[in-house]
Amino acid sequence: MQRRPADGKQDVRRLSAAGLAVRVAGTVAALGVLAYGQVADTNDLFPLGTLSQFATPRDLDGTVRSTYLLADTATEQGRRIPMNDRTIGVARAEVEGQLQRILDNPGLMQSLVDGYAALGPGREPIETLYLMRSIQQLEDGYVVGEPEEVELLRWDSTAEED
């Protein structure tokens, strides 16, 4: 607890030159990382970088794209698989953020199949996993018509075992 001088004013402690230098350097570093994240358009440095999913306005007459997974098992065809850390081991944002990488290297789909198997040992194994995209048309900000369903990638998990 600070003592008050006899005149009733509080003691004022000045920031040392070294303390000021540390604060300025920290501020410059944080602003530099923030600027890099914005220029490089990467979410890897969030919160000191862009979070592009919230940073772009939507065209009220544009489209909304949503990525999802479908799976075939021995007894069921086209079952929708939730994209979250409890079902496949990663969140939807992680899959969408790495979408081009997955499309360029389809073998990465096996990790989703493996995550599904590891997180649900009693579940029927996935034989084929489909990475899908739903495209909805907007008019004045409202969804119109039926969605367009596009298959982006098909991964046969049994091919890896051969």
String of DSSP letters for 49-114: S--HHHHSPPPTTSEEEEEEEEEE-SS-SSEEE--STTTTSS-HHHHHHTHHHHHH-GGGHHHHHH
85 plus 145 within the same structural domain: yes
Q: Give the three-class secondary structure for 149.
A: strand
29 plus 101 within the same structural domain: no
Show the domain range for 23: 17-53
Region 97-119 average pLDDT: 94
Contact 62, 138 (CB under 8 A): yes
CA 116 to chain centroid, in Å, comes to: 18
43 plus 78 within the same structural domain: no
> In this model, does residue 149 exceed pLDDT 90?
yes
> In this model, does residue 100 exceed pLDDT 90?
yes
82 plus 156 within the same structural domain: yes
Q: What distance, in Å, lies between the first and last C-alpha atoms of the chain?
A: 73
Q: What is the pLDDT of residues 29-86, one digit of tens each?
A: 988 887 777 777 666 776 666 666 555 667 888 898 999 999 999 999 999 999 999 9
Contact 120, 88 (CB under 8 A): no
Residue 1, domain member (yes or no): no
pLDDT of the residue at 162: 45
141 plus 74 within the same structural domain: yes
pTM over 0.95: no
pLDDT of the residue at 32: 86
72 plus 116 within the same structural domain: yes
62 plus 26 within the same structural domain: no
> In this model, does residue 3 exceed pLDDT 80?
no
> In this model, does residue 146 exceed pLDDT 90?
yes
User: Residue 35 has which token pair?
Assistant: 């600027």
Angle at 161 between CA 156 and CA 162, to 5 degrees: 95
> In this model, does residue 18 exceed pLDDT 90?
yes
Residue 89, domain member (yes or no): yes
